[in-house]
């Protein structure tokens, strides 16, 4: 009797254990199947489907997706290449660094180069600094602005001289991005160039976007030498919304520690 009970219990434990293993393995198997499915979709003839697969792979957060996404940076469709760059930024894996640098230097589509510049900043790897500095001279203002933002994200002072030169760039979106980056880097050697940039913007009655970017950068740097420049800008500004934001920047600067 005891032997029969023991045998029955043993069989129950075996069956229960097997069932538990199947249930535990179920979601993993399902996830693996989904990952494989998206890898297969990367080979689709449809660029839209390949792009959707890239977005899905990024959403998994699975580091196995990095190599396929790096390969997708060479896709014939620009939208797919840009999606791959953005996906690599989402995964934030530094293995993508060299491939993204190559895209930034060589891709024919400016929006793809711009995506690569932004993502190089997101990766947080300062080996990208020289590539981003070089991209400040790109023929596309979108790429230049993205490179400036990338340098700001890295917060590396090696980018300071090149960024300061671009405060005189003809494109307002570049000047605004450069000012923002200089504020992000937090190097006070940028204070006087930013003050001069503010004066230049008002002397030429230039972009509101640039004026505000410069004002915010000066307040972020926290150097009280900038108080007269912001005060002058406020007294000159005619647009009330802009004036209010300049006043807020000045308030923040006045509140910053000496």
Q: Is the pLDDT of residue 203 over 90?
A: no
Output the pLDDT for position 114.
Answer: 98
Q: Is the pLDDT of residue 78 over 70?
A: yes
Q: Are residues 141 and 163 in the same domain?
A: no
Q: Are residues 176 and 226 in the same domain?
A: yes
Contact call for residues 182 and 160 (beta carbons, < 8 A): yes
Among 13-27, 94-108, 157-171, the least confident range: 13-27
In which domain, by residue range, is 67 found?
Answer: 51-146
Q: Are residues 65 and 125 in the same domain?
A: yes
Q: Are residues 165 and 225 in the same domain?
A: yes
Percent of the chain with pLDDT over 90: 84
Output the pLDDT for position 27.
Answer: 52
Give the containing element (helix H, strand E) for 221.
Answer: helix 208-221
Output the pLDDT for position 115.
Answer: 98
Query: Which tokens belong to 41?
Result: 């979709």
Q: Are residues 139 and 110 in the same domain?
A: yes
Q: Are residues 179 and 254 in the same domain?
A: yes
Residue 42 counted as domain residue:
no
The model's confidence at residue 204, banded by pLDDT at 50, 70 and 90, is confident
In angstroms, the CA 183 to CA 216 distance is 7
Output the pLDDT for position 1.
Answer: 46
Boundary-marking domain end, from 99, 122, 146: 146
Residue 23 counted as domain residue:
no
Output the pLDDT for position 205.
Answer: 76
| Mean pLDDT value of segment 136-159 | 97
Boundary-marking domain end, from 115, 146, 177: 146
Domain tally, the chain: 2
Give the containing element (helix H, strand E) for 180.
Answer: helix 172-185
Q: Are residues 170 and 125 in the same domain?
A: no
More confident residue, 258 or 215: 215
The domain that holds 86 is classified in CATH as 1.25.10.10
Boundary-marking domain end, from 129, 146, 163: 146
Contact call for residues 222 and 209 (beta carbons, < 8 A): no
Residue 24 counted as domain residue:
no
Q: Are residues 136 and 83 in the same domain?
A: yes
Query: Residue 162's Cα: distance from chain center in Å?
Result: 20
| Mean pLDDT value of segment 138-146 | 97
First to last CA, the chain: 88
- pLDDT of 45-60, one tens digit each? 999 999 999 999 999 9
Going 207 to 211 to 217 to 223, the CA torsion angle's sign is: positive
Q: Are residues 198 and 106 in the same domain?
A: no
Q: Is the pLDDT of residue 12 over 50?
A: no
| Mean pLDDT value of segment 128-150 | 98
More confident residue, 29 or 216: 216
- pLDDT of 83-107, one tens digit each? 999 999 999 999 999 999 999 999 9
């Amino acid at each position: 009797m005891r032997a029969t009970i023991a045998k029955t219990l043993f069989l129950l434990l075996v069956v229960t254990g097997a069932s538990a293993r199947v249930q535990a393995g179920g979601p993993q198997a399902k996830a693996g199947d989904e990952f494989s499915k998206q890898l297969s979709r990367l080979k689709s003839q449809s660029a839209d489907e390949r792009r959707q697969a890239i977005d899905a792979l990024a959403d998994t957060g699975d580091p196995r997706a990095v190599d396929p996404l790096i390969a997708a940076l060479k896709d014939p469709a620009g939208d797919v290449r840009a999606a791959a760059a953005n996906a690599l930024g989402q995964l934030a894996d530094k293995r993508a660094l060299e491939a993204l640098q190559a895209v930034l230097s060589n891709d024919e589509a400016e929006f793809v180069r711009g995506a690569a510049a932004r993502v190089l900043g997101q990766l947080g790897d300062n080996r990208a600094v020289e590539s981003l500095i070089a991209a400040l001279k790109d023929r596309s203002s979108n790429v230049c602005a993205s490179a400036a933002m990338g340098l700001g994200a890295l917060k590396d002072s090696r980018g300071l001289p090149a960024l300061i030169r671009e405060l005189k760039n003809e494109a307002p979106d570049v000047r605004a991005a450069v000012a923002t980056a200089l504020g992000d880097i937090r190097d006070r050697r940028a204070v006087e160039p930013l003050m001069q940039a503010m004066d230049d913007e008002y002397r030429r009655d230039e972009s509101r976007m640039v004026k505000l970017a410069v004002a915010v950068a000066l307040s972020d740097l926290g150097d009280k030498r900038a108080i007269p420049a912001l005060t002058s800008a406020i007294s000159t500004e005619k647009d009330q919304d802009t004036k209010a934001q300049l006043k807020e920047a000045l308030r923040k600067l006045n509140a910053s520690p000496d």
